[in-house]
Amino acid sequence: NEGNEYFREKDYRRAVIAYSEALKKNCEDPELNAVLHTNRGAAQFYLGNYRSALNDAIQAKKLKPTHLKAIIRGALCHMELKNFSEAIAWCEEGLRIDSKEKKLVEMRAKADKLKVNIKAVQPDFSTRWQGRAMMGSDLLYERNIKLVLEPSNEEEEISDGLSELSIDGFHSDNATGAKVHLDADGSLNWPVLFLYPEHEQTDFIAAFHENSRFIDHLMVMFAELPPWDLERKYLPSNIELYFEDEERAEMYKLNPEHTLLQVLQHQRYFVKAGTPTVLAFVKHSPFSKKYFSGKKVHRL
């Protein structure tokens, strides 16, 4: 009930926390748990945390395979993540339950069209990015944000004007499609990619407000431990964030109390492919010690 009240007030961050607390009670009613996952997924969706929202939709569908709201939410998440084949599969699954569900019929058609278009269009990276950079140059200049216009690796594939990002042998295409945008208050909202090198996992926030703190997002993202964290060690208080200065092969440790803008304004932070990226590690973990062995680390 508390989560629903926050949701109605559009306080989605508190709604996520409330639904997570309810799930921790380990209720034995699978239908209620399916509703909690679906509602939390909806709140995550409106925060732009599409990967987390999708995970909730998956869990809700496992608990109640005929739960149409969960299937619709999962399909919507795949659409936002540009996973059009998966979106089509979810739509078809829902249409087998209700062949007249309008949202699924419309989404299925849209996903089909976008799937064809994304294959047909081969955007010109340099032209599109230079044009976009020109339009937003004043906004970036007054904020002292440095944008890299060329991809760091000429062999990287380009999709919808944004390059796929790779690090330590794994990559994510979740950043494709989302763009930095200016809201009604004159603030920038960025797509931000979180990388977890130890587990080769990612989180993608489609609209990270420039004045939001990293700790606030971590509290929401890890209100419940992710399924891949089998050791249950990725707690907000136990996570350290870094960015890499590739030119100097040096690492910078972020203060989680800092806002995104404060990090982007750092003299050695360069936004590549329009998507700020941070790396997340568990404090004092064996993997972390090995990863940073021999590397120079600065504190912000």
Q: What is the pTM of this model?
A: 0.54
The residue length of the chain stands at 300
Rounded to the nearest integer, the mean pLDDT of the chain is: 81
State the Cα–Cα distance between residues 198 and 280, nearest whole angstrom: 9
Amino acid in position 178: A
Distance CA(92)–CA(72), nearest Å, equals 10
Q: Quote the distance between the C-alpha of residue 170 and its chain's center.
A: 16
Distance CA 17, CA 231 (A): 21
- Give the pLDDT confidence score for residue 42 in this predicted structure: 93
Q: With pLDDT > 70 as the criterion, what percentage of the chain qualifies?
A: 83
**Structural domains of the chain ordered from first start:** 1-119 (1.25.40.10), 136-150+173-299 (3.10.20.90)
pLDDT per position as a tens digit, 245-264: 887 889 999 999 999 999 99
Question: Is 261 strand, coil or helix?
Answer: helix
Cα separation, 133 vs 37, whole angstroms: 39
Work out the number of other CB atoms within 10 angstroms of the CB of residue 175. 27
Query: Which of 171, 167, 170, 168 minimizes the C-alpha distance to 158?
Result: 171
Tokens 């047909």 label which residue?
Answer: 120
Range list of H helices, the chain: 2-8, 12-23, 30-47, 50-63, 68-80, 84-97, 102-120, 125-143, 214-221, 260-264, 286-292
- DSSP-derived letter for residue 156 is S
In this structure, the number of other CB atoms found within 10 A of the CB of residue 255 comes to 14
Enumerate the H helices of 144-181 as residue ranges.
Answer: none
SS3 62: helix
pLDDT tier, 158 (very low <50, low <70, confident <90, very high otherwise): very low
- Please give the angle made by the CA atoms of 199, 155 and 167, to the nearest 5 degrees: 20
Widest Cα–Cα separation across the chain? 60
- The pLDDT tens digits of the residues spanning 16-46 come to 999 999 999 989 999 999 999 999 999 989 8
Of the candidates 64, 177, 62, which has an alpha carbon nearest to the alpha carbon of residue 115?
177
